[in-house]
Structure 1
Amino acid sequence: MNITVTEEAASWYKDELDLEENDNLQFYVRYGGVGGLQPGFSLGIKVDTPYEAVAETSVEGITFYIEKSDEWYFDNHSLHVSYDEQWEEPAMSYEN
Structure 2
Amino acid sequence: MKITVTDRASEWFQNDMGMTGRGVRFFGKVYGKTPVHQGFSLGMTPDDNPRDPVVTTKKDGVTYYITEGDEWFFIGYDLTIDYDPQTDGPTYIYTENGEL
Tell me, yes or no, if the aligned pair for 2:32 and 2:38 is still in contact at 8 Å: no
Aligned AA (2:58): S
Count matched residues: 95
Runs of 4+ more than 6 Å apart: none
Question: Residues 23-60 of structure 1, C-alpha deviation per residue, up to 9 Å, x if partnerless?
Answer: 00001111112325221111111111110111111111
Gaps of 5+ in 2: none
Distance 2:87 2:81 in 1: 14
Superposition pairs of residues 29-40 of structure 1, within 5 angstroms: 29-40=28-39
Equivalent residues of 1:78, 1:94 under 8 A apart: yes
Could you say what the CA RMSD is over the residues aligned between the two structures, in angstroms?
1.4
Hey, what's the Cα distance between the residues in 1 that align with 2:7 and 2:64? 12
Q: Distance between the aligned counterparts of 1:50 and 1:36, measured in 2?
A: 26
What is the TM-score with the length of structure 2 in the denominator?
A: 0.85
- Cα 1:68–1:36 shift into 2, 3 Å: farther
Distance in 2 (alpha carbons) for counterparts of 1:95 and 1:58: 19
